Every structure is written in structure tokens, then in C-alpha cells.
Amino acid sequence: MDLSFDGRVAVVTGAGGGLGRAHALELGRRGARVVVNDMGTSLSGDGVERDRAAIVVKEIEERGGIAVADTNSVATLSGGQAVIETALSAFGRVDIVVNNAGILRDKTFHNTSPDDVDPVLDVHLKGAFNVTRPAWARFREQGFGRVVVTSSSAGFFGNFGQSSYAAAKLALVGLIKVLAIEGAKYDIKANAIGPVAQTRMTEGFDNPLADHLDPALVSAVVGYLCHDSCELSGEILSAGGGRVARVFIGVTRGYLNGRLTAEDVRDHLTEIFDDAGYQVPENSMAEMTLLADLLGK
């Protein structure tokens, strides 16, 4: 059975191009009413081309869908609230939030200044808070909600010259982990994607795989994560080129010594790093049970 979004309302931030546009088109063609949010800024967050959101709305409408444009900034509390108000005003409800808006201000760490860090955190990390929080109250009331955040392999594994970007992207993983726990009894699912796609963020890089990295292949994953039938929550999915894989944070059994010293750590690194029998705790308290088991408690 095809996954339909009839009756659902989706907000997609940063949807004026690239991945966000692809997500909006995917949800729109499957029946969701879509709020296309985009300020129309440059990749660094400067300048304004406010017609970008309207262009994507027109694309959705030409394909038989329903959408409205929104040009509010996700980087402010009032802007995030306004994005959700656009959904409520146009469609009377909100069911799905896809936090995709992002900018880049890449520099090596020793050259990074607050002007390079703060805007990146404001859009990627605070932007997800600012948009999701006003939607969250509605999700709880109606007993349904789907949240998808756009993380990155730069956050999972690191990447040269992207300290602020990587920090923001990994912080989003912590956010969805908590949202998954707090939203469980309300049928609110929260997940993260680590996309690999050819967009303006990757222009200028010599990538031999570029022809295989259609953003629509990432949007297929987002479509599933946003659907009523999705049971995943608190998960990270790497998506690109048609490949989908789970990314996870696990913990090894480790080494236990009630009289632990720095020398013990040095001498038992093999045991500490032995990933045979690793576990993926469902929350922070679950990791405590691993220690309790080792202590025989």
C-alpha cells in the first residue's frame, strides 16, 4: 500500500531548494498540505530572495498538491512560532515538522570566530527548537506528531573545517533522543537523518558520486519517517544515493575496577575498546544498568 499523507499538514524548513525542496515535493505529491519555509538567504545566511519558497509552492501546486509559502526566520523564537502559525492559519493544524534549514560558515577551528559559530547554531540547532516547540503542544493535544531533524556525518564522524556545523548537527541527535522519550505516549516520533545529496551545499566539491546523489533519494527516507505507520523513534538514518543505513551510538562492555587508576586505563585500553557484545542503550538510565550488571547489583 502506498504511503499517503491525506489530511496531514507538514512544515518543511529551508524548503526553497535542495533537500528541503525535495522533501516538500515528496510530501506534497503524497497528499500532505505543505508549509514551504525559506527566507531565501545565501548559503552563508546573507541576502534575501523571498520568492524561493513561492516557487516551490507553485511546483507543488502544478503537480496537484496544496502548499503555502512562509519566509520567517527559524533562527529566532518569534520566527519559529510564526512558521507554525502559518500552518495553523492556512490549514488549521500541524502534524509534521521537518527541520532542514541550514547555513554554512566553514573555517578551521583556530580561525573560527563567534560570527562563524553563532549564526550556524542559531539556524541549525536553535532553529529546530524554535520551530518544533510550538508544534509540540499541538502534537501532544492531538496525540500525533512526527519530527525529523537534518543531522550530518560531519557531526557523527567529524570533518575538517566544520567545527561549528558538526557541533550543531550532533546536538540535534541529542534533541531527538529526548523528544523520542518524551513523545512516546503521545504517538510523537522523532528521528534524525544524515543525508548525502548533491545540493548547493556540496557545489564546488569534486565528488565522483555526484550524479548518483539525487536529493529525492533522501526524501524517500524522510517520507517514511514522517508517516503515520512509522514506528521508529530516536533513530538516526544515513541516506544517500539510494542507500539507507542505521547510525547509532553504542557502548562497549568495558573494563571494571573499583580501585581504578590512570595507569589501569592505560593498561586496559584493549578491553575498554573491545566492541564485541556492545549495546545501544535506549536512554541514559539504561546505560546505568550495564554498570549495575557488572557490579552484580
Question: What positions carry a catalytic annotation?
Answer: 165
β-pair partners for 239: 195, 244
Amino acid present at 16:
G
Q: Residue 145 forms beta bridges with which residues?
A: 188
Give the orientation angle of helix 163-183 with respect to helix 127-142, to 10 degrees.
10
The CA distance from 257 to 277, in Å, is 19
**The C-alpha cell that represents 261 in the structure block:** 587508576
Cα-flanking dihedrals φ and ψ of residue 147, to 5°? -125, 130
Among 196, 197, 223, smallest CA distance to 26 is for 223
Angle at 51 between CA 90 and CA 43, to 5 degrees: 110
Asked if 57 and 15 touch (Cβ cutoff 8 Å), the reply is no
DSSP bridge partners of 66: 33
Q: How many CA atoms lie within 13 A of 258 on its CB side?
A: 4
Q: Cell match 506534497: residue?
A: 28
Q: Amino acid identity, residue 95?
A: D
Please report where in the chains the cell 524522510 appears, as a residue.
Answer: 222
For 66, the enclosing helix (H) or strand (E) is strand 66-70
Enter the C-alpha cell of residue 293.
550488571
